[in-house]
Structure 1
Amino acid sequence: MDMKITFLGTGVAIPQKDRVQSGVLIEYGENKVLFDCGGGILNRIFESGVLHTEIDTIVLSHLHLDHVADVMCLLKANWLCEKLDAVIYGPVGTQEWLGRLMAIYPYMKVKVNVEVREVVAGEEFELSQGCNVRCTDGIHSVPSLGYRVEHDGEVVVYSGDTEPCDSIMKLAQGADMLIHECSFPLDFPMTNHATPDMLRPYLENSDISKVYLTHLYPHMQGHEKETLEYIKEKYEGEVHIASDLMTVEL
Structure 2
Amino acid sequence: MVRELKEVQGIIIKRQKYKEADLLAKVFTKNDGIITMIVRGALRPKSRLGAATMIFSYGTYVINTSGHGLSMLRTYKEVKQFDNLYQDMTKNAYASFIFDLIDHAFIEYQSLGKYFDLGEFAVRKINEGVDPEMITQIVQMQLLEAYGVKPELEKCVICGKTKGIFDYSIKLGGIICSDHFYQENNRLHLKPKETAILRTIGLLPIERLGNISISEDSKKATRDAIDRIYRQTVDLNLKTKKFLDELKLF
TM-score (norm 2): 0.27
Q: Name the structure with the higher strand share.
A: 1
Bigger radius of gyration: 2
Pick 1 or 2: higher relative contact order, CA cutoff 8 A, min separation 6. 1
Q: Name the structure with the higher helix share.
A: 2
TM-score (norm 1): 0.27
